[in-house]
Amino acid sequence: MTATFSRRSALAAAAALPLAATARSASATTQTAPPRPAPAAYTRQFKLGDFTVTTLLDGSRPVGDAKAIFGGGASDDDFAATSAANFIPADMAQFFFTPTLVDTGQEKILFDTGLGKGGIQMALAEVGLTPQDIDVVVLTHMHPDHIGGLTTEGAETFSKARYVTGRLEYDFWSAQDKSGGIGALMAQKLTPFAEKLAFLEDGGSVASGISAAASFGHTPGHMGYLLDSGGQQLMLTADLANHYVWSFAHPDWEVKFDMNKEAATAARRATLDMLASTRTPMIGYHMPFPAAGYVETRGSGFRFVPVSYQMMG
């Protein structure tokens, strides 16, 4: 008897294989380890020494005209070729907005607050928390997608928290016109709680094992943060690199949102080189969720390598 296979039946058979394997090994698996919870929609947790690090997806949206945003100085052909080599369109980017929560065992420290559209509350709820459980809010810089969540319907979102940010960043924006733009947003979102605000310089400590790392250029006082616990390190890079392909493969391509493009380019190249040479994992605010990965040197640039099952608790 001869069996005839169509493409559809072959695909169906392939899809069934994991289910069959699961059925055969279910009894052995459950005897050796408890089942893990199903993947979460808005959060991803990692273990770093004694720290629990959770990325919180606040939102995501597509944005057009990608080359104008991420390809300053690139030719149309080079931008298209890099995009095609990485299986992404050259005319559109998907933006992700991902604050990070670090539980040190003593404090719950939130890095950036999102857009202010309610996404961060949904993400916190997924890990059994509310904004009132946050002890410290650290602001890497003052762009709207990082400080927008400081208030909700005009009220302080993280009412029990103290706030930390870079001195240079705060001084620059607080001196701007309050009638519009970021100056007005900061006056609305942060100035009313200024008595709860503490300032850091480069190398300053948020808490034991968490230190500021200057990466000026995206904004005048933009900061990353280095986490160090139990001999393990991880870098929160904030907006150092805004796209996981273009800003890594060609760190010298200018990004529209970088205020001082020369300084931002230098900071991006230096930090990515450090992360690659030390094999230190990173979390980038705009990387594809869950926003964590590693950096590999690739030619004259770099490659972002997303996490798979590293740092699982």
Residue-wise pLDDT tens digits, 97-132: 999 999 999 999 999 999 999 999 999 999 999 999
> Taking the model in full, what pTM does it have?
0.88
Give the confidence band of 4 by pLDDT, cuts at 50, 70, 90: very low
Name the residue ranges covered by the structural domains of the chain.
Answer: 44-306
Question: Residue 238: is its pLDDT beyond 80?
Answer: yes
R_g over Cα of the chain: 22
Question: Residue 187: is its pLDDT beyond 60?
Answer: yes
**Residue among 59, 96, 79, 68 at smallest CA distance from 245:** 79
Tell me whether strands 162-166 and 136-139 are parallel, antiparallel or unpaired: parallel
Measured distance CA(96)–CA(126) in Å, rounded = 18
Write the pLDDT tens digit of every residue in 147-159. 999 999 999 999 9
Q: What percent of the chain clears pLDDT 70, i.e. is strictly above it?
A: 87
Question: Residue 2: is its pLDDT beyond 80?
Answer: no
Neighbouring residues of 311: CB distance < 8 A, sequence distance ≥ 6? 46, 47, 48, 53, 234, 281, 292
Answer for the pair 123, 42: CB distance below 8 angstroms, yes or no.
Answer: yes
Give me the pLDDT at residue 265, please.
98
Give me the pLDDT at residue 295, please.
98
Neighbouring residues of 259: CB distance < 8 A, sequence distance ≥ 6? 217, 218, 219, 220
Give me the pLDDT at residue 312, please.
84
Instruction: Give CATH for domain 44-306.
Output: 3.60.15.10
